[in-house]
Structure 1
Amino acid sequence: MSLLGRFFMILVVLFSLTGCWNRVELNELWVTAATGVDMMDDGQWMVSYQIIVPSAIASGTGGGSGSSSQPASHVFSVKSKTYNQALSYSNLETSRRIYIAHNRVIYIGKRAAEKGMDRLIDFYLRNTEAREMVSIIITDGLASDLIKKLLPPEKLQGAAMAELIDKESDSLSLFPKVRVYDFVLSMNSDSKSIGVPVAELIGERDHENEKEAESLDVFKKTSTPLKLALTKLGVFQNGKLKGFLDKEESLGVSYLSQKVNNTEISFPCSEQLGREMHSSLTVNSADVKLIPRKTSFHYTMQVRVKINGTLNESTCTKDISKTRTIHDMEKEIGKEVTRTINEGWDKLQELGVDATGFADRIHRRFPREWETVKEDWEQEFKKIELDIRVDARIQRPGLLQKHIGSQT
């Protein structure tokens, strides 16, 4: 081939490799921070999108620092028969295309959760933009109401809620973080159950000042009438919401699910008659071992808990420098952990929901017996008994050897 021919071939190749032919500019997209899903009375889905306003974030006015400031996010809702149709119908209300790849959290309304999560999961696994690492939050009311509420002092409520879930899972372990990916695994497990955090608006509703509180002036106030907070745990079976657990019950389930990282344990001192004054232990590590056992009639789960923590607050009047006093306090901590585990376990057995994943453990331990049990697992699950033993250790009792109010 001549030199001229090679030159023309190179030109043809270069023109065929030109990029950006299918580019989409950022100012043509609405980047989504959070999504809300509700089931309406007419049987249709209402999908709400919390979209980011880039100009408000870039200018620093999204926090409500001036009278001309604008919110950092905007929320609008679309009704449709399917999730993807709602995404398409959004083009009738906005000039920009909804982009859900950066979505941080999905709020699911109570009615939608009771209807079932299978269609939402199908959408997130099938759509090329949707990501399986997005967190799931349940609300006892409408997700469209929750997604509009700000979470001061953050500008983006969706991102703030995702960070709140991460910190709660690491520091308290009351409500474990659940992503779409985790929900998919639970639906394909033997137990087919999982617990999902519930967020609610708490406080007293003031209808007269509600619009003002939801405006940007909320950042100028010392407190808002309604606040967004994690309150309880919603338990699912076969992708459908079955009931709720309170904080204590949820922590007990976290122990049984081996999801306790750090938490706080309040316990009474053994010498107190009324036992109304409590001391506080910050758990630095919690090692939980679950060993299934089988008797001739039913299964037993051995629960062995080892806790190490720091004593951060004490109402005990005895000398903490003495070994006997420390041992007495450790026994009280063990009783408190045992009580918490039993509370969560009793609630799960009442609902008949294996949110602890015991079915998977029994299947692995007794594969042959599982074939005869799995068809009637809900009833078998209610017969399981727990054998709980807690070994609590106070590693750091603090600087004071006696309670500050002690007379001796």
Structure 2
Amino acid sequence: MLHQFGRFIMVLAALFGLTGCWNRIELNELWVTSATGLDMMEDGSWMVSYQVIIPSAIASGTGGGSGGPSQLASHVISVKGKTYNQALSNSNLETSRRIYISHNRVVYVGKRAAEAGMDRLIDFYLRNTEAREMVALVVTEGSASDTLKKLMPPEKLPGAGMADLIDKESDILSVFPKTRIYDFALSMNSDSKSIGVPVAELTGEVTRKNEEEAENMDVFKKTSTPLRLTLTKLALFHEGKLKGFLNRDESLGLSYLAQKVKNTQISFPCGDQSEMYTSFRADNAKVKLTPRKTGFHYTMEIAVKLTGGLIETTCDKDISKMKTIHEMEAEIEKEVERTIQEGWTRLQELGVDAAGFADRIHRKYPKEWKTVKSEWGREFKKMELDVRVDAQIRRPGLLQKHIGSKS
């Protein structure tokens, strides 16, 4: 009897040790966000915008819900504050649900906020246990709040659509590689203190009429939007502040220098036939960087190796001949070298070491770096490149000549 009573006491004690779900939060008490926007106002305060998900629209197969077939799947809430966290707290004064940012996919940063500095945003994401530092960063030319309100058909959630667009672009073209909060934080604490972030802009014919159409359109009755969000260039940051932009070719050149090229496509002229172009898809791209000290300055050796196949050609030459293949490979090598040099020239003009060369020189020449570190800005502009490109066409295709060739 005493033995059974002792077992009962042990079970009772174990039950008291269970915490249960005393701090649970129901899903209908939260606004789950898919994207966030950060803008700096003229008075120096911050406006943070949240693209929150409407579950009833997501649940419907057509994008509708209880509100009808044209109900949007997201809603944008904008709040102001002296700091990022204060703005988040102030949202509780305007909405009945708590904003939940753990599922955030992308952070849009307005140009004015980017020029003021990213240190507050980075600090919030690294300090807040609910925020995730793997979220993608995107700079906008205009207001981040306005960008959040733009649709990205056929995706129901524009924020998730932009995150997927960045991932796809990084894997296929490598022109504007993905930059996460985590990557930005690492750059601010590196020797170069620089990094590039993709820029999203509205493209299309911008008129008053089609802007109103874009705002009021029913995405389930239109086949095309008059304006659409597009990745257009790369924003360069140094010490957390916006310093300038790179165009498509310059950005691709930086991707080579930063070893961020995975796959890419290259269009090059067909020898002396400048109006004829051929496209090459690099399925495998390897870039090796080797810093070398030359006298009182430094040179970076860039060894690029590309392998892939032809995916399009208007060239009249016989591709079955090895001579033609070698000529095409030489043209590819020239195009890649030109792209790298173009990006490098722009980096030196801005004085922004977004390729991270300072970190490589520090690792290879740790003693010299103690002297160079304080003058790296001037030394970077004196640095030279030694570029060597090796392109190999492994798959020229089944056709020996362009299908429209008369010879």
TM-score bracket, normalised by the shorter chain, equals: over 0.9
Q: Distance in 2 between matches of 1:64 and 1:214?
A: 20
Q: Which residue of 1 aligns with 2:133?
A: 132
Give the structure 1 partner of residue 365 of structure 2: 366
Corresponding residue of 1:340: 339
Unaligned runs of 5+ in 2: none
Structure 1: 5+ residue runs without aligned partners? Answer: none
The letter of the residue matching 1:345 is W
Q: Which residue of 2 aligns with 1:328?
A: 327
- Equivalent in the alignment of 1:188: 189
User: 1:59 deviation in Å?
Assistant: 2.3
CA deviation string 1:197-254 (max 9, x = no partner): 0111111234235344234513322221110011000011001110000000000000
Using the TM superposition, give the Cα deviation of residue 113 of structure 1 relative to its aligned residue in structure 2, in angstroms.
0.6
Partner of 1:94: 95
- The answer to whether the 8 Å contact 1:113/1:138 transfers is yes
Q: Aligned equivalents of 1:61 and 1:81: distance in 2? A: 40
1:357 to 2:344 alignment: no
**Number of the residue aligned with 2:298:** 299
Checking the alignment, whether the CA contact within 8 Å between 1:64 and 1:216 is kept in structure 2 is no
Farther off after superposition, 84-93 or 2-11: 2-11
State the match for 1:314 in structure 2.
313
Asked if 2 retains the 8 angstrom alpha-carbon contact of 1:268 and 1:276, the reply is: yes
- Deviation (angstroms), 1:269: 1.0
Structure 1 pair 5–270 and aligned structure 2 pair: CA distance change class (3 A) = same
- The answer to whether the 8 A contact 1:63-1:216 is kept is no
Deviations 1:231-281 (A, max 9, x none): 000011001110000000000000011110011100001131xx1221100
Matched, 1:169 2:158: no
CA shift, 1:115, in A, is: 0.6
Judge conservation of contact 1:32–1:52 (CA < 8 Å) in 2: yes
Alpha-carbon distance in 2 for matches of 1:65, 1:292: 62
Q: How far does residue 2 in structure 1 lie from its aligned partner after superposition?
A: 5.1
Structure-2 change in CA distance of 1:63 and 1:361 (3 Å) = farther
Deviation string 1:34-70 (CA, Å, 9 cap, x unpaired) is 0000000010000000000011111234269996531
Q: After superposition, give the CA deviation of every residue in 1:329-367 in whole Å (9 maximum; x if it has no partner).
A: 111110000000000000000000000000011111111
With over 3 angstroms needed to count, the CA separation of the structure-2 counterparts of 1:297 and 1:322, relative to structure 1, is: same
Checking the alignment, whether the CA contact within 8 Å between 1:70 and 1:216 is kept in structure 2 is: no
TM-score, normalised with respect to structure 2: 0.96
**What does residue 250 of structure 1 align with?**
251
Structure 1, 52-61 or 132-141: larger mean CA deviation = 52-61
Q: Distance in 2 between matches of 1:8 and 1:66?
A: 55
CA contact (8 A) 1:249 1:344 kept: yes
* CA distance, structure 1, for counterparts of residue 183 and residue 331 of structure 2: 35
Seen in structure 2, the aligned counterparts of structure 1 residues 219 and 245 have a Cα distance that, compared at 3 Å, is farther
TM superposition score normalised by structure 1: 0.96
Q: 1:40 to 1:314 in 2, by over 3 A?
A: same
Partners of 2:65 and 2:265 in 1: CA distance: 35
2:283 is equivalent to residue 284 of structure 1: yes
Aligned to 1:36: 37
Opposite residue 189 of structure 1, the aligned amino acid is S
Q: Is 1:206–1:225's contact at 8 Å kept on the other side of the alignment?
A: no
Structure 1 counterpart of 2:156: 155
Letter in 2 for 1:204: E
CA-to-aligned-CA distance 1:97-151 (integer Å, 9 cap, x gap): 0000000000000010111111101100111100011010011111001011011
**What secondary structure is seen at the aligned counterpart in 2 of 1:219?**
coil
Partner of 1:396 in structure 2?
395
Distance between the aligned counterparts of 2:157 and 2:369, measured in 1? 47
1:220 match: secondary structure: coil
| Larger CA deviation: 12-21 vs 377-386 | 12-21
Contact 1:251 1:341 survives alignment (8 Å):
yes
Q: Which residue of 1 aligns with 2:199?
A: 198
The 3 A distance-change label for structure 1 pair 209 and 230 is closer
Letter in 2 for 1:304: A
Aligned to 1:107: 108
Say if 2:51 and 2:75, in contact at 8 Å, map to a contact too: yes
Cα separation, 2, equivalents of 1:58 and 1:201: 29
Q: Does 1:122 align with 2:123?
A: yes
Contact 1:63–1:155, Cα closer than 8 Å, also in 2: no
Q: How does 1:222-237 map to 2 (within 5 A)?
A: 222-237=223-238
* SS of alignment partner, residue 382 of structure 1: helix
Secondary structure, counterpart of 1:159 in structure 2: helix
